[in-house]
Amino acid sequence: MNKRQVGFDKENTASAYLENSGYRIIQKNFYCKAGEIDIVAEDDGYLCFVEVKYRENAENGFPEEAVDIRKARKITRSAMFYMTRYGIPEDYPVRFDVVSILGKDITVIKNAFDAVM
């Protein structure tokens, strides 16, 4: 399996996990000029922009560590574009979550980072 296939597989795994945890999946793989959002979902009245990160093992660090300031900025810009495109008001409650998959262990980090410009 190549990297793209692994990523697609892990995003589907994350989506199923989120749905079982009470999230409502709105869209997967939203692309725009600013970047990509793996999963857009609703949870507890929040519009959630979810980044999925996977590592086979912790040898090269934990998956969530890959969401650095540069990645957070890209996700924030993509989220703003998404909200504009779909007419979602600026004051709508938004959250940035990360699904960390390490081997077979899945962890959801709610509110993993604040919007970064």
Element (H, E) at 15: helix 3-20
pLDDT 10s digits, 60-100 = 899 999 999 999 999 999 999 999 999 999 999 999 999 99
pLDDT 10s digits, 16-48 = 999 999 999 999 999 999 999 999 999 999 999
- Cα separation, 94 vs 32, in Å, equals 19
CATH number assigned to the domain covering 3-109: 3.40.1350.10
How many Cα atoms are found within 13 Å in the side-chain-facing hemisphere of 49?
A: 27
- Is the model's pLDDT at 111 over the cut of 80? yes
Segments making up each domain of the chain, as ranges: 3-109
The pair of structure tokens assigned to 111 is: 């509110």
* pLDDT the model gives residue 81: 97
Mean pLDDT value of segment 52-58 = 93
* pLDDT the model gives residue 5: 86
